[in-house]
Amino acid sequence: MADRKPFIGGNWKMNLHADEAAALARALVDGLTDAPAEVAICPAFPYLHQVGEILSQAQSKIQLGAQDVHTDPNGAFTGEVSCSMLRDVGATVVIVGHSERRHVLAESDVLINAKVRAALDAGLDVIFCIGETLQQREAGMTDAVNWGQIGYGLAGVSSDHMARVTIAYEPVWAIGTGMTATPDDAQAAHQAIRAFIRCGMFNDAVADRVRIQYGGSVKPDNAAQLFAQPDIDGGLIGGAALKADDFLAIIAATQTVAASAG
């Protein structure tokens, strides 16, 4: 099996004001002494700079991420933020295609693909989110939906650029609901995603290297079982990323897995 370092993302969504964001960033910096996984935290736009300063002053290995980005480098796009602006404030990674943007804000596969390519061209790493709704799962369409979203979303991305893409499989029905995919169901979806990367879109090298995070109600008490699955390479964490103890426990769960595998 390929040696992929797990990657844990903290998606703070539209939560935490300045003081809370700073306090959480400091608690994570202090608590994360030995990182068994790569870690990124993604505050809301107004706090990126502040959180980035905390991370860089502490010389922390925690990466700064944004939750979205616009496709164009600048211009008349009221309310939008460009890749170079994100880089200016120290962000190195950006979440694209989160289900809340797909379903609540009606982002299309075409727009998401343009964002993925713009971010990669600008040197940002991308956490590219996919996942099926409950209705689609019940209709047996999980793999078809995931493959479709990957097919559109990663169209035109080179194998080289794929080295900077992490896929986040987040079943829509599991996000923020307390319902988690079972480790077996999640593994089955991840395995099918990797197979599509291998045979449908890229090749063995990309498929073996690409990290596939699981997201959707990951908590300290279910993280280790999920991360123990061979095709699950960490997680994208929402609710549990807002509490330092929970987020640190989830990061530590990647180590439990590494230790028991070794």
Q: Is 72 helix (H, G, I), strand (E, B) or coil?
A: coil
What CA–CA distance (Å, rounded) separates 41 from 11? 6
- From the candidates 107, 132, 170, 190, give the one annotated as an active-site residue: 170
CB-nearest residue to ligand PGA:
238
Binding site for ligand PGA (CB under 6 A): 11, 170, 175-176, 215-218, 236-240
Whole-angstrom Cα distance, residue 31 to residue 33?
6
| Three-state DSSP state, 50 | helix
Shortest CB 59 distance to ligand PGA, Å: 27
Q: Is position 49 annotated as part of the catalytic site? A: no
Nearer to ligand PGA by Cβ, of 65 and 216: the residue is 216
Which of 98, 100, 161, 190 is labelled catalytic?
A: 98
Q: Nearer to ligand PGA by C-beta: 36 or 97?
A: 97
Nearest CB to ligand PGA, comparing residues 6 and 238: 238
Q: Find the shortest distance in angstroms from Cβ 240 to ligand PGA.
A: 6
Kindly state the smallest distance separating residue 185's Cβ from ligand PGA, in Å.
Answer: 15
Backbone angles phi, psi at 64, to 5 degrees: -95, 130
Least separation, in Å, of the C-beta of 13 and ligand PGA? 7
Helix (H) or strand (E) holding 39: strand 38-42
Instruction: State which residue, 97 or 238, has the beta carbon closest to ligand PGA.
Output: 238
| Structure tokens that stand for 89 in this block | 């404030």
For residue 170, indicate whether it is catalytic: yes
Torsion of CA 241, 67, 49, 88, to 10 degrees: 140
CA dihedral in degrees (111, 144, 211, 188; nearest 10)? 160
Using alpha carbons, select from 111, 113, 101 the residue that is nearest to residue 170: 101
Residues with catalytic function: 98, 170
